Every structure is written in structure tokens, then in C-alpha cells.
Amino acid sequence: MKIRVLDTNVLLDRPIEKIIDSFPPCKIILPLAVIHELDNFKGLDDQRGLYARSAIRFLDGLRPELHKGVHLKTGHFIKVEINHADVQLPEFLSKNLIDKRILAVSKGIMEEEPLELITQDICTRLIADILGIPAEKIT
């Protein structure tokens, strides 16, 4: 089953159900950094805040097993990834930034299984290319 790691900006682009439905059944990985970032956006009074709150409510409905992974009726598997935060990235990339933490998780998982990072951020896709992480935007 194909693995897709989602960046926060994907979850702020449209409702999470539509995002999931846009992929054939696959493993959807949300780095813990994405959950923290959604928490920062949930208070906004714009579309991003609405989608952040929607995603948080959706994920809350999958508790308490979300950190282990949950099979959805759609055939997808979704998991919040709490590992791989200590993956070494080149020194020119600071791991303190959220994007770098998402890249570190992607790189760590990729050492075990092939994956695709899904992000709307062009710069993150460019950095992913440098690190050898396949990256695409959601269509």
C-alpha cells in the first residue's frame, strides 16, 4: 500500500475527507508536527481555520488508536507518526522549523518504505528533491 505523508498546508487547503478521497486507498501519515501546526491554525476566522478545526475533529473521532494507525471505511489507513524526529538532515537545514520536522519524518520512514510527501509548498518540494524524497502537490 502506497505511503503518503501529508504536510499541514494540504489539510488547510480543503476538507480532510476530500483529501482522503482524492487518493486511492493508501497509508496516510501525519507527522506529529502537523498536529501541532493545525492547533496553531484552528483559531483563525478564515478558511484555513475552518479546515484546521474540521481536520482536528475528524482526527479526534479516530482516537485513541491514531498513533498506532486506524483503518478507514474507504480502505485508507491513517496514522499520526511520533517517531523519526531524530533523523539526521544536512546541517544547512534547521530541524527547528516545522517543514524540516516533516521532512525528517518523511526521510526516516523512507529508510524503511518508499513514500510520497504531499505538500502545496514549492520550496518544501524543492528541498525534498535535494534530500531524495519524492514530493508532489495535491491536485
CATH of the domain at 52: 3.40.50.1010
Q: What's the CA gap between 114 and 61, in Å, rounded? A: 28
pTM: 0.93
**84 or 139, which is more confident?**
139
Q: What is the pLDDT of residues 33-79, one digit of tens each?
A: 999 999 999 999 999 999 999 999 999 999 999 999 999 999 999 99
Overall size of the chain counted in residues: 139
Q: Can you tell me which residue has the cell 479546515?
A: 51
Q: What's the domain range around 7? A: 3-136
Q: What's the CA gap between 98 and 12, in Å, rounded? A: 15
- Which of the 8 DSSP states describes residue 88? -
Number of domains in the chain: 1
Lowest-confidence region among 33-42, 94-103, 107-116 = 94-103
Beta strand 116-118 pairing with 135-136: parallel
